Amino acid sequence: MPPFDQPVAIEITSRLGSDRRLTVEGETNLPEATRLQVIVERELSGVRWRERVSVEAGGFEAGPLGPGSGPQRYARLLHRVTVDVQEGSVQPRSVRDRLGEENEHLSGPLVQQSRHGLGQVASYSQRFLVGSETRRTHDRVEVLRVE
C-alpha cells in the first residue's frame, strides 16, 4: 500500500449513558487498525479515564468512561475528550507500512512531534459540558444534558 498522504482527520461525538458515563465515537481517515488512545478528563479535578482502541471501518468507539452513577451530581462539569494517535513503535506492521516507522507520513494541524522523541503523533481534543441543566456558554464546548 502507498504511504498515507492526506492530513489527519478526526471527528468525535460523545453521548451520555443512563449510568452517567460517556461513550466516545469517532470517525477518521487513518488507516485500518491504527491504534488510538481515548482519554476523558474532568477538567476541574483532573481525573482521567483512558481506553485504547483501534480504527475499524473508518471509525472507533471507546467507553463508557467515567465514574458511573451514584450520589455524585453533574452540575455543569466540563470534560475534555482527547484522541491520540499512538507512536509508530506501537502500531501494527500494516499501519507502520502506511504511516512510517515513526509516523513520518502523518501531516496536518493535528500532528506534532512526540514528547519522547519517538517520531510524530496526532492529537484531537474537544470539550463537553455535562450537566443537569443546560446553560449558555461562549466557550467552544458541546453540551450533554443529564436527564
Which backbone phi and psi does 122 adopt, to 5 degrees? -130, 150
The model's pTM = 0.85
Instruction: Assign domain 10-140 to its CATH superfamily.
Output: Immunoglobulins (2.60.40.10)
Residue-level pLDDT at 77: 76
DSSP state of 4: P
Using 50 as the pLDDT threshold, list the residues of the chain that sit under it.
70-75, 133-138, 146-147
In this structure, the strands spanning 22-28 and 59-65 are: antiparallel
**Largest Cα–Cα distance in the chain?**
53
Residues 96 and 35: their CA atoms lie apart, in Å, by 11
User: What is the SS3 assignment for 106?
Assistant: coil
Residue-level pLDDT at 106: 97
Residue-level pLDDT at 62: 97
Residue-level pLDDT at 48: 94
Cell numbers for 87, please give them: 507512536
In this structure, the strands spanning 48-54 and 142-145 are: unpaired
